[in-house]
Structure 1
Amino acid sequence: MLVAGADEAGRGPLVGSVVAAAVILDPNNPIEGLNDSKKLTEKKREKLFIEIQEKALAWAIAEASAAEIDELNILQASLLAMRRAVEQLDIQPEHVLVDGNKVPQGLQMGCDAIVGGDALHAEISAASILAKVTRDHQMIELDRQYPQFGFAKHKGYPTKAHFEAIAEHGVIDQHRRSFGPVKKALGL
C-alpha cells in the first residue's frame, strides 16, 4: 500500500505562510536519520531536505498564506496546506498519515491523524523536514526584504526581538493580522 506522510511547519509564528509537505517514501531506497524536524540540527535538516527530494517516490510542498490564515484560522489553514500538498503529489497514495490530532477534509483516500507522528513514522518525518526547511528558507528571504525585523534569526516567532521590531517598524503585509500581538500592534 502506498502511504504518504503529511506535516506542516509554521503554526506559531506571527508572519508568513503555514507550509505543509506530503511525502511517499521508496521502501527500496531508505533514508537514514529521518526524525521530527525539530529534533534535528539545521545542517542535518538541509542535508535530508535534498536527500528526501532525490529518493522519495513522490513529494510535494504547499502552503496557506497569511491572508488565508486570517480568514480561516491557523488550524484550518494548516489542514488546507496539508490537503494541497497531498493533492499535488505526482503519485496519489492509498492512505495518508498526518501529524497531529486532526485530518484534512476532502481527501479522496483514508487518512489517520497521529499525535507525535513526526517522531514515529518516517513518511511524516520526511514531510516535517521538507515543510520546516521550506518555511525557514521563506523567512530568510523575507529577512532580505525586511532586514529590520530579524526574520532569519527568529523565523517569525513571537520573540522579544520580533515584538520590538513590530513596535518600531509597524506591521508588514505578511504579518498574520488575526494573531493577538499583531492585532494589538494594529490597534484592533
Structure 2
Amino acid sequence: MQFLKWEDGNEYDGSQINPSWAFQEFNVKDSTIVSWVGPMNILGDNLIDYEDVGLDITGNKMLHFIVEHFDEQPGNLKLAYHRQRMLVMIMRDKLLDYGIKTTQDGDDIFIDNGKLSVSIATASISAMKIHFAVNITKKGTPADVNVASLEDNGISMDDVYELQDKVANTYIETIETIMKDITKTKVF
C-alpha cells in the first residue's frame, strides 16, 4: 500500500471516491492512501450517502484522506466500513498526542458537541474506497451544523502535516501487520 500526498488546495468534490481514481490521477497500480489539505464541496451527483441527499457538505479547509484497497474482488462493503472505523480510531488516537480528547459516533469524530469529521465508505466490483476528512477551520462549513475544527483546538498547520503523516503511516502499518498475521496463522 502506498501513501501519496496530493498537492494542497485541491478540492474534494466527491469524484475522488470513484474506483481507480488514484490510478487515473497518479498512475499508481496499488492500494493507496492519498492525502491533502483543501476545501470540500460535494456536488449532488457525487453524493453516495443516502442520508446526505439535499445537504450541503462543504468546508474551506480540511485534511482529506482517500483510501482504496484492491485486495478483495468484488469490493466488500462491510470490510470497507470496518477499515473506515479503523481509520477514524487512528485519527482519534493521534489527536490524543496533541491533547485533544474526542468522542466517536459511528464514523464521526466530535470534540465536545462539535462535529470534526466527515466520512463515507463504498465498494465497487474492483475495490473498496474510503473518504475521511477533518475540519482544519470552521470557515465554509454549513451554518446548521455544530462544527469543531483543529485550529480552534490549538493545532497549527505544521501539526496538521505531522498528523497527516502519522495517520496515513499508522493506517498502512496496521493493514500490513494484519496481512502478516494472516500469513502466520494456522487455520483449520
Same fold (TM over 0.5): no
TM-score by length of 2: 0.27
Greater fraction of residues in helix = 1
TM-score by length of 1: 0.27
